[in-house]
Structure 1
Amino acid sequence: MEFDPDWSAIANNLIHLGIAYLLAIPIAWNREKYSRSAGLRTFPIVAMSTCGYMLIGMEVLDTTDAEARVMYGIITGMGFIGGGAILKSDKGRDVSGTATAAALWGTGAVGLAVAWARFEIALLLAALTFCTLQFIYPIKERLRGDEDERG
Structure 2
Amino acid sequence: MERSWNTILQEFSDLGSPEEITRVCLRLLVAVALGGILGYERETVGASAGLRTHMLVSLGAALFVLIPLQAGMQLGDMSRVLQGVTAGIGFIGAGAIMKHSSKNDIRGVTTAASVWLTAAVGIAAGMGREATAVLSALFALVILSLLRHGTKQS
1:60 to 71, 84, 87: 71
Q: Which runs of 5+ in 2 are unaligned?
A: 1-6
Does residue 78 of structure 1 match 2:78?
Answer: no
Equivalent positions of 1:39-118 (< 5 A) are: 39-118=50-129
* CA–CA distance in structure 2, aligned partners of residues 64 and 118 of structure 1: 13
Report the structure, 1 or 2, having the larger helix content: 1
Q: What's the counterpart of residue 18 of structure 1?
A: 29
Displacement of 1:64: 2.9
1:54-73 Cα distance to aligned partner (Å, 9 max, x none):
10121225333432111111
The 2-side partners of 1:105 and 1:16 are apart by: 19
Identity %: 30
Q: Which aligned runs of 4 or more in structure 1 are off by greater than 6 angstroms?
A: none
Alignment counterpart, residue 7 of structure 1, candidates 13, 17, 34? 17
Q: Determine whether 1:126 maps to 2:129.
A: no
What is the CA–CA distance in structure 1 between the aligned matches of 2:8 and 2:80, rounded to whole Å? 30
> What is the identity, as a one-letter code, of the residue corresponding to 1:56?
I
Shift of 1:93: 2.4
Structure 2 length normalisation: TM-score?
Answer: 0.83
**Counterparts of 1:3 and 1:66 in 2: how far apart (Å)?**
30
TM-score (norm 1): 0.85
Equivalent pairs counted in the alignment come to 141
Alpha-carbon distance in 1 for matches of 2:31, 2:73: 24
CA RMSD of aligned residues (A): 1.8
Cα separation, 2, equivalents of 1:95 and 1:102: 14
Structure 1, unpaired ranges of 5+: 142-151
What code does the residue aligned with 2:114 have?
A
Q: How many angstroms apart in 2 are the aligned matches of 1:113 and 1:74? A: 12
Specify the code of the residue in structure 1 equivalent to 2:17: W
Change (3 A) 1:61 1:72: farther
- Residues 44-99 of structure 1 show CA distances to partners (whole Å, capped at 9, x for unaligned) of 11111100111012122533343211111111111121111111013432100000
